[in-house]
Structure 1
Amino acid sequence: MTEAATRRVPGAPCWVSLIVHGLSATQDFYSQLFGWEFRPGPEQLGPYVRALLHGKEVAGIGQLPPDRHLPIAWTTYFATKDADVTAEAIRSCGGTVAVGPIVAGSAGRMALASDPGGAVFGVWQAAEHLGTALAGTPGTPVWNELVTRETASVAKFYQAVFGFETEAVVSADFDYQTLHLRGRPVAALHGVGHGLPRDRGPHWMTYFQVADTDEAAARVTGLGGRVLHAPRDTPSGRLATVADPEGAVFTVVRPPED
């Protein structure tokens, strides 16, 4: 079990959050799946809780206003020193800023945006809340990957906005680029062409670490969720793509042994 770094390198994924219709039922689902406990988050965000594991914050869950009908999805947040500068860069590079930047109490400032392909992501300028405070243990976010049509054009967007260096996997039938900061891989872009789900479009996928992928997938089903892609072995570990009872899609993965 390792604690995540304190203040993130600008551009690094630093937080994941989910906005749902049924906050209480969603807390029950993730509590039983990952062992999360919860405490209230910034009131400025409406009904909102932070998920804790071993007393450390690992994710956020909020509640949609009753009259709002937005796609239910996990959102990846990227660290920034200045949310206003990043928001302006997003706009100038062909993205859209949908919310903010706004103040989230004493926690920090945030914005919600989408890249030119329409994939939604968040921007986080930390004050008191630095982001995910635990890594390397089951129940924590372990990876973030953009599932999109093709990576070439959208890679330029993320390079320009966040300063990523990219490293492409050279393969005729595999469109994949890893995003690096200071020489370390922090996220990836995966072009799937016509394999993109018609009901979702381009989207950021959150990977959560688990001790046993098959057991976690079975538990998702038992708790009212769905398994979208059955457990399978990959170079990144044994993983399964699943959805919670409200349809938020995520991946559970047991990383390979070192």
Structure 2
Amino acid sequence: MPTSIPLGAPIWADAVTPDLAGDVDFYMRLFNWAAFDSGEQFGHYTELCLGSTVAEARAVGGIAEAASGAKGSAWGVAFHVGDCVRAAAEAEKLGAQITSNPIRVGDDLVYAALKDPDGGAFGLFEPLSEKVGFTARNEPGAIVWFEYVYDGAPVEAMQFYAELLNWSLHAPDGSEPGHDAPYVGLRTREGHALTRSEEFGGARMALGPELDMTPHWTVCFGTASVDLTAAKAVDLGGAVAVAPVDDPGGRMAVLASPTGAYFTVMSPRE
């Protein structure tokens, strides 16, 4: 295996944007990231990393320019599979829609884009090289959590992913902090240090304005201070979609880039 990230776990997150230069600058300044442009051959796809030099760089995610005419921007998540072609075919049998057939990207990976049976976008990612995938997780400035937001019973929406990616679903018991809406934890069956005690995210019922949105995955980044990061995002031209608030896992806020890509920042409960 070219990566130690467990099969079925999130292996990559990236954003598409109509303003690549502007958004790269926004994220670099917000999270103190370094950016590495892959060049014209790959459409200037840019890797975002912790660390200021190539030798120090630890990958957090990526960002790409949206197709001509596309509006707005968004973050997405891709899951680790052993065979992208087979996994995409299986996803289609389970009711998903393939929006971009599996394609090999250089010598590094095979990738397919899909929509789940409820319309939520996600990717399937088969690594071919040890150079790809997250090399930073669960720390300030890196991915700490993924959340699926759905106008319905989360456990029902997650059955598709559980069958496709061999997840186990964890319903909170009475000893755990309460949630404002029905919730289910998401776990791979293959543990590793890059997962969060084998639990990498959750799915919950949509609330308030989210009821008007299609089902979607939310990418969550760690920060030492949610409040300071939210204020800095506004100063850099972004926006606060959900003001900082305490939740069962700590403190969080939903922010938006200058081009409208939503993402979450989180800090653990002290």
Q: Please report the TM-score for the alignment, with normalisation by the length of structure 1.
A: 0.91
Aligned to 2:54: none
Letter in 1 for 2:218: M
Task: Write out aligned runs for 1:72-221 (5 A).
Answer: 72-128=73-129, 129-150=131-152, 151-169=154-172, 174-182=181-189, 184-192=198-206, 196-198=210-212, 200-221=213-234
Are the structure 2 counterparts of residues 230 and 194 from structure 1 closer, same or farther at C-alpha, using a change threshold of 3 Å? Answer: closer
Letter in 2 for 1:169: P
Q: Conserved in 1, the CA contact under 8 Å of 2:179 and 2:248?
A: no
Cα distance in structure 2, aligned partners of 1:172 and 1:6: 34
Give deviations 1:30-89, integer Å, cap 9, x for gaps: 01100111112376642311011121111100002323x155210011101110111011
Question: Over aligned residues, Cα RMSD in angstroms?
Answer: 2.0
Q: Conserved in 2, the CA contact under 8 Å of 1:17 and 1:74?
A: yes
Letter in 1 for 2:168: E
Are the structure 2 counterparts of residues 243 and 193 from structure 1 closer, same or farther at C-alpha, using a change threshold of 3 Å? Answer: closer
Q: Conserved in 1, the CA contact under 8 Å of 2:96 and 2:115?
A: yes
Aligned to 1:240: 253
Letter in 2 for 1:201: T
* Paired residues, number: 251
Cα distance in structure 2, aligned partners of 1:43 and 1:107: 17
SS at match of 2:139: coil
Runs of 4 or more, structure 1, over 6 Å off, are none
Deviation at 1:194, TM superposition (A): 6.6
Q: Conserved in 2, the CA contact under 8 Å of 1:52 and 1:59?
A: yes
Deviation at 1:253, TM superposition (A): 0.6
Q: Conserved in 1, the CA contact under 8 Å of 2:79 and 2:125?
A: yes
Deviation at 1:152, TM superposition (A): 3.3
Letter in 1 for 2:201: A
Letter in 2 for 1:125: E
SS at match of 2:6: coil
Give deviations 1:118-141, integer Å, cap 9, x for gaps: 110111100123311012321101
Cα distance in structure 2, aligned partners of 1:11 and 1:110: 14
Give deviations 1:136-161, integer Å, cap 9, x for gaps: 32110110010011213212101111
**Structure 2, gaps ≥5 residues long:** 52-56, 192-197
Greater Cα shift, 36-45 or 174-183: 36-45
SS at match of 1:33: helix
